[in-house]
Amino acid sequence: MRAWQVHENGEPREVMRLHEVERPTPGDGQVLLKVRAANINFPDALLCRGQYQIRPALPFTPGVEICGETEDGRRVIANPALPHGGFAEYAIADAAAVLPAPEALDDAEAAALHIGYQTGWFGLHRRAGLEAGETLLVHAAAGGVGSAAVQLGKAAGATVIGVVGGGDKAAVARELGCDVVIDRRAEDVVAAVKEATGGRGADVIYDPVGGEAYAQSAKVVAFEGRIVVVGFASGSIPSPALNHALVKNYSILGLHWGLYNTRNPKLIQHCHERLTELAARGVVKPLVSERLPLKDAAAAVQRVADGVTTGRVAVIPGLDEGGAA
């Protein structure tokens, strides 16, 4: 089978190589999955660079989120068990963590209704307790993680402010349903948020960026607001001033979604059921901006790492070079 492998750490375009390899053999409690679609996530780039919290032994195949097919023909979504990741024709996953793919979504959309949407659901509901009528601010609102939070915020009845970088991404954020869109490249984010909220600020802030985005969040969070920290796509990890949180009465909430796989996996199943219901009602629908053949995976991972994509980019091994499934 064909599989992308990383033999040394570095930038994805430089270290990912497409090889013919033996089909992986599942171990105890694992299943073999034929990959129908693999979505690219920022952690895939961090894995290539050796900067992720998990560092699989070299060589490994990246790809942490797939829609696959079991040997008995069931369509499922899963997080592959590294080193046998999703940028391949076949992957391995832990059987206990495999979830049924929502019937309302195609393969790429189904794969995308997992990490980003689970992270959004846990962050907004379990951690921040977002309520209808509140104001939600989402950084990187046109990206894979941010676009999920925008849709989930709207589904919860919140007013959603999306912060993006550039006119094209602003258009995407509007299409996703943001009530207010702020282009950080053309506007003063802090001033724009205060103007949009009448000076009150945002009740919940969803931050997968870190760095300057977090500094802006601390300036515009409302009284008794909640800042949900879900990642550091900027590459800069901020050091919050806790005296500032004390003076303004706001909370800083961390979210590492992967911990729920070991600490409370029943919550992941519960979340998946809620997300499946929302998808069936058409309330949420993952934004898949590109569907690419397997041969284009390395270049696509690099573009996601560089922050130039919108929504999710899907790698589909069954897609031929002419573009037909």
Whole-number average pLDDT of the chain:
95
| pLDDT at 322 > cutoff 50 | no
Residues 88-122 pLDDT 10s: 999 999 999 999 999 999 999 999 999 999 999 99
Write down the pLDDT at residue 320: 62
Rounded distance, CA 287 to CA 61, Å?
25
228 vs 241: which has the higher pLDDT: 228
Q: Which amino acid is at 103?
A: E
- Write out pLDDT tens, residues 25-50: 999 999 999 999 999 999 999 999 99
**Which class for 113: exposed (0-12), middle (13-18), buried (19 or more C-beta within 10 A)?**
buried
Give SS3 for 56: coil
Q: What is the mean pLDDT of residues 187-203?
A: 98
Q: Give the model confidence (pLDDT) of 66-76 as tens digits.
A: 999 999 999 99
- Find, among 51, 11, 5, 31, the residue nearest to 303 by Cα: 11
Per-residue pLDDT reduced to its tens digit, 279-309: 999 999 999 999 999 999 999 999 999 989 9
- Provide the pLDDT for residue 319: 86
Mean pLDDT throughout 228-257?
93
Residue 235: pLDDT band with limits 50, 70, 90: confident
Q: Is the pLDDT of residue 324 over 90?
A: no
Instruction: Give residue-wise pLDDT tens across range 8-25.
Output: 999 999 999 999 999 999
| Dihedral over alpha carbons 188, 193, 196, 202 (to 10 degrees) | 180
Instruction: Say how far apart CA 290 and CA 91 lie, in whole Å.
Output: 21
